[in-house]
């Protein structure tokens, strides 16, 4: 945390003695009207100060014309006033001694330059008085744990707020309200939900910090469009992990299109998704791609123990539903359980031997023929099966589903009394036929899924949680003694290779010559066969331009290749400045890989590894980690690639030198790290990898450094 700002008082914001609602009214079609209504409706225990010039009272609560008129300074204020009134209202609050305000009003930095200027002014005004701001462009706070609602969403027209142990931070207010609403109807509650909008003052990590410490929260969900401070995000995630609180996240902007949408939405730069993914996996955050499934995984994590294994047992009312579920799990590589003998014996009480071994268990096939009563023993048998990690009940529409749900709840309760708190995930289709069944589950304190897809995503999320990389150990030290000294701008192949060589990354030998005769001489000092490449700041893709000649066997051939290349390029690229010809040794290899690095604006240098050449773009088979990485981590990167089998030895082909490649990746990552803040990009493509024990060599390289 930045030591310069005082810690954000989120816990104080959740327990204000008094709240001013600026623009409070009885008109619930207006934000101010709903803000006031929801605060009263959900039983806020402190004093409410409605600010309204035209009224004496609202719902028997005395109104005030100005914040300055209230008998004591309100601890919190919430406002949805028109944008042009925000600054004045903020000044009033700050001067009155308000500790924090929530600004619902939008059209600040979310709409461009002018809005951003106004936003900065508002923040400065608040900071002068030590007042904190949530928003603008947010929906505020819903805190069921504290009976505090500072939010105007229609999702709050409910009689009771379900209290759960899930804390949520969302950069989108509308999404927060939607998730809240859907969760609530499925029996899932929250401790606190924060919609943080433009994060003009308080940012996501302030709220994450709070949730990590919060005794009312066990699991944290975050909907993220852009992270403000990458290192701080990782640090708080690591603290959550140490505290045993899973952090689940969904990040918008995975695709270029999504990134553009996120930018215009809350004005935060969506950093590259891959770097974010790497940061999440290295700091123990489970990254998901569906916000509803994220909340449901959180619900499952707060309701049940974490599974210790991924084998899933299915229990269904229809053969069809079960078969489709089994397919979906199998597609994702999620295993289906094979029951232990005692489980089969227990199931044989109700099913014929073949059916008792089947996964899915089809209650329709029970000996009692369609009686829902078998549900209790069946689910109990599956939950207590030692070979099963998760029980999934995708229930299709059937007669008497209410009774079935009652039986399920009983079987689950019996298992839990016996000490098993394994996940039992129940899917009910959204139609009216399941209305009574849903109510029955809720009565027993059991949440349910509306569709199979979410339940499958939750099981996949469990797997991610189970297979998270352990906390990062020590990084070791740089392979180079002193920080490298690199010029600004694009470094050509020769200059880039010199830096790589200094870091012990194997590169082939060569030297630049100005003309054909000099090139022939250079070849004399090298071991053939040779390669000639044009050196030009204007030719990035040398082979595309005809600027690479391979397989030259003598000094004469090298000289001739230079003469021909000069003539050819003079024709095809008359504008290109040619600064020389790189004569180098030709290298053998079984497989072309690429190793790269770039500086991510949020997370710093990242290192990348993938299949080399044109396949990079075609296959998008790339592993990304934050730099630097150890050789062991580089080996994990290799193992995760789709081309890994080619390196490990595929169908009788010899295994390649994975150790040498991993070592090179680690060294490149250190170079990227040590090049410091001017470092922009680095590309070694290809790295030719030979058979195990024979090493690898980078034969082309580029580095881009920014100006001082």
CB distance 632 to 665 below 8 Å: no
Instruction: List the single partner that 543 binds among Mg ion, ligand ADP, none, CB under 5 to 8 Å by kind.
Output: ligand ADP
Nearer to ligand ADP, 34 or 690 (CB): 690
Check binding of 700 to ligand ADP (CB under 6 A): yes
Q: 250-264 burial by CB neighbour count: b if 16+ within 10 A, else e?
A: bbbbbeeeebeebbe
Nearer to Mg ion, 548 or 644 (CB): 548
CB distance 462 to 307 below 8 Å: yes
CB distance 171 to 223 below 8 Å: yes
Report the residue number whose CB is nearest to Mg ion: 700
Check binding of 497 to ligand ADP (CB under 6 A): no
Check binding of 548 to ligand ADP (CB under 6 A): yes
- Cis bond before residue 529 (omega within 30° of 0): yes
Nearer to Mg ion, 657 or 683 (CB): 683
Check binding of 508 to ligand ADP (CB under 6 A): yes
Q: How far is the CB of 543 from ligand ADP (least distance, A)?
A: 3
Check binding of 563 to ligand ADP (CB under 6 A): no
Of 541, 575, 652, 708, the one binding ligand ADP (CB under 6 A) is 541
Backbone angles phi, psi at 531, to 5 degrees: -130, 140
Cα–Cα distance measured from residue 369 to residue 280, given in angstroms and rounded to the nearest whole number: 49
Q: How far is the CB of 664 from Mg ion (least distance, A)?
A: 15
> CA separation (Å) from 203 to 138, 200, 206?
12, 7, 6
Closest CA to 561 of 608, 513, 526, 495: 513
The secondary structure of 205-259 as a DSSP string is HHHHHHHHH-TT-SEEEEEES--S-HHHHHHHHHHHHHTT--EEEEES-SSHHHH
Check binding of 584 to ligand ADP (CB under 6 A): yes
Positions in 590-609 near ligand ADP (CB under 6 A): 592
> CA separation (Å) from 287 to 225, 293, 316, 341, 668?
13, 11, 29, 37, 27
Cα–Cα distance measured from residue 676 to residue 701, given in angstroms and rounded to the nearest whole number: 19
Check binding of 586 to ligand ADP (CB under 6 A): yes
Angle (CA) 531 536 538, round 5°:
135
Q: How far is the CB of 588 from Mg ion (least distance, A)?
A: 16
Check binding of 651 to ligand ADP (CB under 6 A): no
DSSP element (H, E) containing 605 = strand 604-611
Q: How far is the CB of 489 from ligand ADP (least distance, A)?
A: 17
Nearer to Mg ion, 311 or 700 (CB): 700
Check binding of 682 to ligand ADP (CB under 6 A): no
Q: How far is the CB of 688 from Mg ion (least distance, A)?
A: 11
| Tokens 């059937």 belong to residue | 398
Q: How far is the CB of 627 from ligand ADP (least distance, A)?
A: 22
Instruction: List the single partner that 508 binds among ligand ADP, Mg ion, none, CB under 5 to 8 Å by kind.
Output: ligand ADP
Of 14, 552, 699, 704, the one binding ligand ADP (CB under 6 A) is 699
Please tell me the count of residues contacting ligand ADP according to CB under 6 A.
17
Q: How far is the CB of 545 from ligand ADP (least distance, A)?
A: 8
Backbone angles phi, psi at 466, to 5 degrees: -70, -30
Q: Which value, to the nearest 10 degrees, does the dihedral of the CA atoms of residues 442, 446, 449, 450 take?
A: -10
Q: How far is the CB of 455 from ligand ADP (least distance, A)?
A: 46
Nearer to ligand ADP, 73 or 505 (CB): 505
CB distance 336 to 408 below 8 Å: no
Q: How far is the CB of 214 from ligand ADP (least distance, A)?
A: 52
Mask for 521-540, x = binds ligand ADP (CB under 6 A) = ----------x-x-------
Stretch that binds ligand ADP, among 105-113, 296-304, 440-448, 544-552 (CB under 6 A): 544-552
Instruction: List the single partner that 541 binds among ligand ADP, Mg ion, none, CB under 5 to 8 Å by kind.
Output: ligand ADP
Q: How far is the CB of 704 from ligand ADP (least distance, A)?
A: 14
Residues 6+ apart with CB under 8 A from 233: 204, 205, 208, 227, 279, 283
Positions in 443-472 near ligand ADP (CB under 6 A): none
Q: How far is the CB of 146 from ligand ADP (least distance, A)?
A: 60
Residues 6+ apart with CB under 8 A from 202: 8, 10, 132, 133, 134, 196
Nearer to ligand ADP, 54 or 541 (CB): 541
The secondary structure of 501-546 as a DSSP string is HHTT--B--EEEESSHHHHHHHHHHSPSSEEEEEE-TT-SSTTTTT
Q: 446-475 burial by CB neighbour count: b if 16+ within 10 A, else e?
A: bbbbbebebbbbbbbbbbbbeebeeebeeb
Positions in 677-696 near Mg ion (CB under 5 A): 685
Angle (CA) 278 283 286, round 5°:
75
Check binding of 697 to Mg ion (CB under 5 A): no
Check binding of 700 to Mg ion (CB under 5 A): yes
Mask for 644-683, x = binds Mg ion (CB under 5 A) = ----------------------------------------
CB distance 276 to 396 below 8 Å: no
Instruction: List the single partner that 182 binds among ligand ADP, Mg ion, none, CB under 5 to 8 Å by kind.
Output: none
Contacts with Mg ion, residue ranges (CB under 5 A): 685, 700
Q: Which residues bind ligand ADP (CB under 6 A)?
A: 508, 531, 533, 541-544, 548, 550, 584, 586-587, 592, 613, 686, 699-700
């Amino acid at each position: 945390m930045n030591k310069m700002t005082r810690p954000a008082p989120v816990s104080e914001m959740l327990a204000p003695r008094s709240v001013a609602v600026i623009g409070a009214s009885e008109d619930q079609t207006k934000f101010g009207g709903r803000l006031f209504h929801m605060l009263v409706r959900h039983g806020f225990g402190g004093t409410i100060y409605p600010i309204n010039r035209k009224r004496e009272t609202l719902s028997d609560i005395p109104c005030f014309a100005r914040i300055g008129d209230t008998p004591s300074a309100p601890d919190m204020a919430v406002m949805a006033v028109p944008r042009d009134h925000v600054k004045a209202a903020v000044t009033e609050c700050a001067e009155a001694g308000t500790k924090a305000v929530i600004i619902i009003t939008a059209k600040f930095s979310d709409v461009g330059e002018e809005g951003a200027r106004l936003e900065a002014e508002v923040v400065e005004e608040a900071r002068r008085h030590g007042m904190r701001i949530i928003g603008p462009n947010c929906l505020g706070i819903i805190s069921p744990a504290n009976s505090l609602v500072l939010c105007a969403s229609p999702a709050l027209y409910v009689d009771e707020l379900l209290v759960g142990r899930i804390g949520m931070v969302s950069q989108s207010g509308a999404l927060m309200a939607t998730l809240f609403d859907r969760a609530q109807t499925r029996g899932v509650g929250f401790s606190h939900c924060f919609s943080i909008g433009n994060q003009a003052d308080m940012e996501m990590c302030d709220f994450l910090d709070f949730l990590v410490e919060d005794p009312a929260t066990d699991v944290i969900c975050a909907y993220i469009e852009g992270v403000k401070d990458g290192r701080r995000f990782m640090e708080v995630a690591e603290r959550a992990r140490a505290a045993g609180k899973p952090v689940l996240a969904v990040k918008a902007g995975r695709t270029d299109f999504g990134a553009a949408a996120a930018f215009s939405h809350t004005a935060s730069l969506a950093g590259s998704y891959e770097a974010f993914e790497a940061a999440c996996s290295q700091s123990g955050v489970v990254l998901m791609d569906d916000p509803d499934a994220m909340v449901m995984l959180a619900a499952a994590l707060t309701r049940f123990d974490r599974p210790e294994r991924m084998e899933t047992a299915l229990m269904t009312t229809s053969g069809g539903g079960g078969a489709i579920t089994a397919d979906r799990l199998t597609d994702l590589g999620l295993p289906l359980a094979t029951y232990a003998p005692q489980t089969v014996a227990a199931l044989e009480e109700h099913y014929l031997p073949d059916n008792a071994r089947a996964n899915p268990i089809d209650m329709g096939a029970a000996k009692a023929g369609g009686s829902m009563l078998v549900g209790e023993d069946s689910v109990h048998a599956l939950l207590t099966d030692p070979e099963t990690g998760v029980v999934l009940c995708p229930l299709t529409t059937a007669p008497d589903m209410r009774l079935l749900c009652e039986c399920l709840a009983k079987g689950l309760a019996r298992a839990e009394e016996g000490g098993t708190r394994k996940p039992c995930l129940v899917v009910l289709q959204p139609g009216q036929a399941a209305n009574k069944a849903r109510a029955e589950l809720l009565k027993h304190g059991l949440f349910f899924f509306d569709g199979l897809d979410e339940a499958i995503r939750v099981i996949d999320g469990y797997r991610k949680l189970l297979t998270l990389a352990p906390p990062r150990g020590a990084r070791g030290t740089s392979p180079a003694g002193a920080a490298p000294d690199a010029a600004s701008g694009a470094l050509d192949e020769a200059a880039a290779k010199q830096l790589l060589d200094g870091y012990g990354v194997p590169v082939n030998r060569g030297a630049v010559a100005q003309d054909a005769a000099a090139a022939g001489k250079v070849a004399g000092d090298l071991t053939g066969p040779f390669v000639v490449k044009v050196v030009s700041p204007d030719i990035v893709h040398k082979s595309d331009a005809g600027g690479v000649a391979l397989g030259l066997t003598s000094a004469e051939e090298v000289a001739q290749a230079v003469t021909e290349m000069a003539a050819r390029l003079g024709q095809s690229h008359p504008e290109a400045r040619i600064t020389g010809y790189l004569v180098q040794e030709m290298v053998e290899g079984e497989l072309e890989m690429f190793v790269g690095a770039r500086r991510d604006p949020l997370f710093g240098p990242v290192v990348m590894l993938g299949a080399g050449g044109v396949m990079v773009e075609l296959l998008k088979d790339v592993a990304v980690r934050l730099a630097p990485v150890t050789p062991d981590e580089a080996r994990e990167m290799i193992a995760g690639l789709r081309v890994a089998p080619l390196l490990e030895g595929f169908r009788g082909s010899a295994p390649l030198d994975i150790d040498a490649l991993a070592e090179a990746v680690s060294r490149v990552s250190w170079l990227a790290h040590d090049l410091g803040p001017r470092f922009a990009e680095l590309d070694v493509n290809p790295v030719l990898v030979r058979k195990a024990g024979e090493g690898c060599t980078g034969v082309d390289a580029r580095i881009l450094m920014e100006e001082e």
